[in-house]
Amino acid sequence: MKLNIMERLLLLGMQEIPRVGNIVTMGIVSDFFARLQFTEEEIGKWNLEFSQDEATGKSNVKWNPSEDSAAEIDITPGMAKIIVSTMEKMPEEPGLSISLVPAYRAMKALIPEEEKK
């Protein structure tokens, strides 16, 4: 599925995605995060710049907005099921960024009907 830079950054930063669980789930989550990482080619193509604010410790990312920043990321149904479930369980605060709604819908479509319960 196509994910743009903002969607990838938001997904990488979702603290609600499980970091502890059984070996199968953690393998799926680990693979998911690995696929979201930016390649050297993407960093150069989109002029991605990563920095950290020394005063706040917050990370910042800048890129060239004139370039099409979407990339094809292979998301499996198992990955989609974990991420969609996580998004659906998120509380109102801090909530889910509206920027992730298209990714949520696309991932939900990857889950077989019999597994959507």
pLDDT in tens, 62-108: 998 877 889 999 999 999 999 999 999 888 877 888 999 999 999 99
CA distance 66 to 111: 33
Q: How many domains does the chain have?
A: 1
Domain holding 93, by residue range, is: 2-115
- At residue 68, the pLDDT reads 83
- At residue 90, the pLDDT reads 86
pLDDT band at 117 (very low <50, low <70, confident <90, very high): low
- pTM exceeds 0.85, yes or no: yes
Q: Containing H/E element for 35?
A: helix 23-36
